[in-house]
Structure formats: structure tokens, C-alpha cells
Structure 1
Amino acid sequence: MTVKELSDRFDVQVVAGEKGLNRPIDGGYCGDLLSDVMANAPQRCIWLTVQGHQNVVAIAVLKEMAAIVITGGHKPDPETVEKAGVEGIPILAWEGSAYDLAGRMYAAGVRNSDG
């Protein structure tokens, strides 16, 4: 599944980084503790978080993530949107909980290689 397909399928709003929408998603990661995400998130994953500051883009670039989904109705800071556009990292927004979206993604076949 690509980021665009996920966005369309689950009605997840694209907020930034449109040029990266064709990236393949090879798994997922849920977390808000940035050091944990840096240590454990797999490459090409889609990251579900409530964090909306610029550091999420830096981590997504470092980990070569497919995209970031900001969940729970939280919104990214304007600087974060700008940085994501420059870096080509899609940021999506989901009004519901990370738990709900993760379950839907898992049921649709988005799984990590270890699970």
C-alpha cells in the first residue's frame, strides 16, 4: 500500500509533503517518545503520533519513513508543515485515535516484517 492509497482508503487528510504520496508503506509504528521512535521504528514505516513539532520531520527523514500521521485531532505546527514540504515527507491528519487507525491498517495488510 502507498501513502496515497492509505489516505484514500481511510479518509486520512493530507496536510503536507504531497510529493511523497507514492511512497510504499512497509509497516507501521505508534509512539510519541522520540528516542523510542528513533531507536525502534522500521524504515519505510508509517508513524502514528500526536506530536506536531518540527522534530517529527527530522526523525522521519533520519529513519526513511514513508509518512507521519498525526492522530487524535492534533495538528502540526506551521513550521512542521513547511519542513515536511521541503523534505518531501507526507504528513497526514487523523481525527480518531492511533489505536483505531493502527487496527484498520493492520486489517488491511499493513504489517511489519517481524509481525
Structure 2
Amino acid sequence: CKTLPSSGFCSTALTAVVQAQTHESAEHPGATPLPASCREEMYPCTRMYSVHRPVKRCIGRLCLYSLPRVYVINNEICMRTVCQQDEYLRAELCRELSGWPRRIERSATRKRCRNRRGNLKTWANKA
């Protein structure tokens, strides 16, 4: 398994996904094509789930079985369809969550800029 430097994923897993997709597209010739502004993107979808695995513990001749909960991490590579509008909405959500104003409000509303210029809080003013 070779690890790709850009993503850190196993290259054999990527080729397996790509080969599986080509086989699926060959099997379904009537599949709907993607719109021009959309593309398919591979992303890591790591899932963690719990299972109960039996464990045998023996003390002398007496053996006991217990079912502790064990967490299993399943590393997979999934496909999703990403359109240009979805990317824009995701970027706007990321801006809002990080504390930046929305781009639409920033260009249309000038009150925030005037308030910031009038009340400058710099190290020089605090001293």
C-alpha cells in the first residue's frame, strides 16, 4: 500500500474505488450524467461503531465468557456529488462559523465599518 503524499490515503484503496466506479458506470449505461457545474469527489468517510466481542477468561479450570464493548474504526473512501452552488453555501457557512460576516452583508452594509473606524481599540489607544 503506497500512501499518497497529498492526501495520506492508500493508493490501492483509491484505485479500487475508481475501478469499482468504472465497472458501475459500465453496468448502468442509462445513468443520469452530472450537470456541467457539478463534479464527483472522493472523501474519507471514517466510521466508528461498537461491537460486543466475546472474551474467554480462565482461572484454573473455571472459564468465564464476557462480552465487552469494543470500538471498531472503519476507514473507507466514499463518493459525493458536489455542485458549484453547494460549495458556495458551504464556504459561506464556514465564514459565519469562524466569525466573519457574510459576503453579501459585508459588501452591502457599511455600518460595521464606520463603527470600527470610530472606536479603534489598538495598543496605542489603550496605553
Q: Normalized per residue, which structure has more strand? A: 2
Fold shared, TM-score > 0.5 on shorter chain: no
Q: Radius of gyration: which is bigger? A: 2
**TM-score when scaled to structure 1?**
0.19
- If asked which structure has higher relative contact order (CA below 8 Å, sep 6+), I would say 1
For normalisation by structure 2, the TM-score amounts to 0.18
